[in-house]
């Protein structure tokens, strides 16, 4: 795709060492990804931020369940809501939310390396067999597992045994 690309032409000003920027453009090309699926890892443990809360002083508050729910909603919908020309057609497709028991001190692995994403015709398939192995083996320390996904064109294979499934856009059970 052909684009106009801005660049600056710095020329020394007559008053000294300062530079004036002369704006100009040139023709360029850019390539856009036709289809891609990015997996990002994010972990939050309220117990890990207690020291930070103390450092923040008297006005700081502990992380509350309402804060976590707002974060979860932002992770479910944020990419879809933030629309721009550069990311037109980009949507939140999948969210895996694992909550450990209150007493658990386990550190879960980065699941991005354990999830396989494949295309099967018009359907996108998330194979969670490696995640299932990890979570099923730690089931005594896991309080809940939620999988949020676009239920119209995504298939989830090998979900963890205790996973609850939800449509990512509506939040309704699937």
- Residues pairing with 167 in the sheet: 149
Q: Which residues contact 106 (CB under 8 A, 6 or more apart)?
A: 100, 138, 141
One-character DSSP codes across 41-88: -----GGGGHHHHHHH-TT-----HHHHHHHHHHHHHHHHHS--GGGT
Helix spans in the chain (H) = 50-56, 65-81, 129-137
Identify the sign of the CA torsion 46, 48, 49, 55: positive
Distance between CA atoms of residues 145 and 149, nearest Å: 13
Structure tokens at 16: 């000294």
Q: Which residues contact 139 (CB under 8 A, 6 or more apart)?
A: 161, 162
The mean pLDDT value for 86-108 works out to 86
Regarding pTM above 0.85, the answer is no
User: Does residue 52 register a pLDDT over 90?
Assistant: no
Structure tokens at 155: 């298939």
- Over residues 116-152, the pLDDT tens digits come to 999 999 999 999 999 999 999 999 999 999 999 999 9
The mean pLDDT value for 151-163 works out to 95
């Amino acid at each position: 795709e052909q684009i106009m690309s801005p660049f600056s032409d710095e020329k020394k000003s007559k008053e000294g060492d300062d530079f004036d920027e002369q704006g100009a453009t040139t023709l360029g090309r850019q390539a856009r990804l036709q289809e891609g699926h990015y997996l990002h890892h994010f972990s939050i443990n309220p117990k890990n931020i207690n020291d930070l809360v103390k450092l923040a002083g008297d006005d700081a508050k502990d992380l509350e369940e309402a804060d976590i729910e707002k974060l979860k909603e932002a992770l479910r919908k944020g990419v879809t809501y933030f629309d721009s020309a550069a990311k037109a057609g980009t949507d939140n497709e999948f969210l895996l939310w694992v909550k450990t028991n209150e007493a658990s001190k386990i550190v879960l692995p980065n699941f991005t390396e354990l999830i396989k994403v494949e295309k099967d015709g018009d359907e996108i398939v998330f194979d969670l067999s490696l995640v299932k192995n990890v979570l099923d083996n730690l089931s005594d320390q896991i309080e809940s597992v939620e999988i949020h996904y676009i239920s119209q064109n995504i298939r989830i294979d090998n979900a963890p045994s205790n996973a609850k499934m939800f449509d990512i856009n509506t939040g309704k059970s699937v």
